[in-house]
Structure 1
Amino acid sequence: MDLMRVSREYLELKEKSKKNSRGAGRKPRFTEEEKNIIRAQRKEGKTIKELATLNNCSFGVIHKILHE
C-alpha cells in the first residue's frame, strides 16, 4: 500500500518536472547563473557583440538574455 503511494507521488513529480508531457523542446543553452554573469558583464560596460564572442553564441541570444 505504501509502495503504491510513493510510486504514484514519484510519477506525479516526474511529470511536473517536464516542460510538457512529452519532455519535448530544446534544453536551455545557459543556466540562470551564467545568465546572471552575462547581465553583470553588460552592466560593467561590455558590448553585446563582445559578450556574444566571449560566450560563443549569437548577438540575438545575448540580447534575449538581457531582455528577459
Structure 2
Amino acid sequence: ALARLGLEDAGAGKDMAELRELLGAWRDAKRSALKAFTGWVIRVALALMLAALAVRVGHSGWIK
C-alpha cells in the first residue's frame, strides 16, 4: 500500500508521521472553527432575544 503512494523509501516513516501530524492539525483547526462559529450563533441569538424582550416590555426606543 505504501509503494502505491510512493512511500516505499527509507524516509517513509518520517513522511507518514508528518502526514499524521498534518491531519491532526487539520482536525484541531476544524474543531476550533466550529466552536467559534457556534459561539457567534449563540451570541447573536441571545442579542435578538434581548432586543425582542426590550420591545415587548416597551423599551423600543433603545433599539435603533
* TM beyond 0.5: no
TM-score using structure 1 length: 0.30
Q: Which has the higher helix share?
A: 2
Greater RCO, 1 or 2 (C-alpha within 8 Å, sep 6+): 1
TM-score using structure 2 length: 0.32
